[in-house]
Amino acid sequence: MYRNTYALIDTKKIYENVKCVVNNYHYDYYIGVVKNNAYNHGIETINAMIKGGINYLAVSSLDEALQIRKSYSKIPILVLEPIDLKYIDQCDYYNITITVDNLKYVKELLEIKLNKGINIHLKVDSGMNRLGFNNATELKLSYELIKKKEKLNLEGIYSHFATSGLNDKYYNLQIATFKKITNDIDLSKIPIVHLDRSITLVNKEKISFCNACRFGMLMYGISGKKPTLGKKQKVKAFIKKILGKETKYPKELPLNTAFELYTEVMSVRKVDSGKYIGYGTYKASEDLFIATLPIGYADGVDLSFRYVWINGNYCEILAETMDMIMVRVSSKVKIGDKVEIIGKNIPFLKVCENTRLNSYHLFNKITSRVTRKYK
Ligand SMILES: Cc1ncc(COP(=O)(O)O)c(C=O)c1O
């Protein structure tokens, strides 16, 4: 690492977050969702997850699965998207669980000669309209074909929720759809059944036929947050309550985000009133001092972050470029001073609020160019 810009990941917090979920919700399998490099925290965090109780991993592609397999030889890994069957030998060799989501795929898979054998999870489309079986007959036929075939192990079945189910009925509809599509299959004969994701796991009743849950956000420290209501919103909420249409907010588990972001001052200069900063987007209306920081929109940090924290002060971001941002500082700021972009003084959720990004987008916004350091 030769640039003093880094994300600091607290693996102890990830461990504690997982432990908190495991202690509060009881399942046989806790599937940790670690796609996109563990939501950008780095696959180095997986050890902490496993210590906390994660006993299965889920990723989005075979590339991600193989990357993880290099460092974690034993834990089962499920790829959530169907894999091109040309690469199935890799799954066979490296023990990667595949998602099967249509009958044609099953028929093609049956034609392939396998060596060790493959674990399969069937994916049901209960309402996302993205991937999965949406037809009971095709699902049943696929189930039978897989069951009969040597070296194919039908290990799991799952689906994904589109909504939280807190203020909508779509969640119930998805459960009903899942039951309908799987009606001809004995779910109790499938070792791993998983539907829940973070928000539904925490906020809805345990689904009676599930013995596993899949979650990402909870591991990374996000459960739910009740918004602070202004006067008008409080009145609206009161009226809704009287009408029996009360808004339900997610439960807040005692979780902590583990992701902080730092850089340091690379250059300081005085800019005279009337001069432009950066690509002419900001004109100084008075004499001011600015600090240039080695982090830019190519790293995921831009004007939308609004301010950073240097030596006990919030400093407004005045200009963004691909690799650097310029912030307003006092004359006391020096080259080498530490800069917090996400941390104790500007918490992760505050940055979500400033950037108007939800946590999924913000975690994925800080690019891999930023070095990850681990506590
Ligand atoms: C299929 C699937 N399962 C589980 C998850 C994890 O969701 P969450 O981070 O909300 O728990 C995702 C996230 O995108 C997903 O696509």
Kindly report, residue by residue over 305-339, the tens digit of the pLDDT: 999 999 999 999 999 999 999 999 999 999 999 99
Token pair for 102: 């249509």
- The contacts of residue 155 (CB under 8 Å, 6+ apart) are 97, 119, 120, 121, 190, 191, 192
Ligand 1 center from residue 324 Cα (angstroms) = 33
Q: Kindly give the interhelix angle for 136-148 and 170-181, rounded to the nearest 10 degrees.
A: 50
Q: Same topology for domains 11-215 and 259-374, yes or no?
A: no
Per mean pLDDT, which range of 76-80, 181-185, 229-233 is the poorest?
229-233
Closest residue by Cα to atom 1, ligand 1, is 160
- The contacts of residue 168 (CB under 8 Å, 6+ apart) are none
Q: Which amino acid does the sequence have at 177? A: T
Ligand 1 center from residue 325 Cα (angstroms) = 33
Does 20 have pLDDT greater than 90? yes
- The contacts of residue 341 (CB under 8 Å, 6+ apart) are 261, 262, 263, 295, 301, 305, 308, 309, 351
Ligand 1 center from residue 206 Cα (angstroms) = 17
Check if the beta carbon of residue 30 is closer than 8 Å to that of residue 53.
Answer: yes
Q: What is the pLDDT of residue 297?
A: 97
Would you kindly state where each structural domain of the chain is located, as residue ranges? 11-215, 259-374
Ligand 1 center from residue 217 Cα (angstroms) = 8
- The residue that leads in pLDDT, 168 or 36, is 36
Q: Which of 97, 161, 214 to mutate to test the pocket of ligand 1 (most atoms within 8 A of CB)?
A: 214
Kindly report, residue by residue over 275-304, the tens digit of the pLDDT: 999 998 899 999 999 999 999 999 999 999
Q: Which CATH class is domain 259-374?
A: mainly beta
Q: What is the pLDDT of residue 225?
A: 66
- Which atom of ligand 1 sits closest to the CA of residue 199? 10
Q: Which of 18, 27, 33 to mutate to test the pocket of ligand 1 (most atoms within 8 A of CB)?
A: 33
Closest residue by Cα to atom 2, ligand 1, is 160
Does 227 have pLDDT greater than 70? no
Q: What is the pLDDT of residue 228?
A: 66
Question: In sequence order, what are the beta bridge partners of 282?
Answer: 277
Please name the residue that has the structure tokens 């994916």: 123
Q: Is the CB of 363 inside a 6 Å radius of any atom of ligand 1? A: no
β-pairing verdict for 118-123 and 152-158: parallel
Q: What is the pLDDT of residue 243?
A: 72
- Which atom of ligand 1 sits closest to the CA of residue 360? 9
* pTM given for the model: 0.93
For the residues 132-149, what does the mean pLDDT come to?
Answer: 96
Count CB atoms within 10 A of the CB of residue 198: 25
- Which atom of ligand 1 sits closest to the CA of residue 158? 1
Check if the beta carbon of residue 194 is closer than 8 Å to that of residue 187.
Answer: no
Q: Which of 160, 222, 359 to mutate to test the pocket of ligand 1 (most atoms within 8 A of CB)?
A: 160
Q: What is the pLDDT of residue 2?
A: 85
- Which atom of ligand 1 sits closest to the CA of residue 217? 9
Check if the beta carbon of residue 7 is closer than 8 Å to that of residue 261.
Answer: yes
Q: Is the CB of 198 inside a 6 Å radius of any atom of ligand 1? A: yes
DSSP state of 124: B
Please name the residue that has the structure tokens 């006092």: 330
- The contacts of residue 129 (CB under 8 Å, 6+ apart) are none
Mean pLDDT for all residues in the chain: 94
Pick the CATH number of 11-215 from 3.40.1410.10, 3.10.20.30, 3.40.30.160, 3.20.20.10: 3.20.20.10
Ligand 1 center from residue 74 Cα (angstroms) = 22
For the residues 25-52, what does the mean pLDDT come to?
Answer: 97
Please name the residue that has the structure tokens 């099953």: 106
Q: Is the CB of 216 inside a 6 Å radius of any atom of ligand 1? A: yes
DSSP state of 133: B
Q: What is the pLDDT of residue 118?
A: 97
> Using CA atoms, how far apart are residues 69 and 237, in angstroms rounded to an integer?
49
- Which atom of ligand 1 sits closest to the CA of residue 222? 9
Kindly report, residue by residue over 234-247, the tens digit of the pLDDT: 777 777 777 777 77
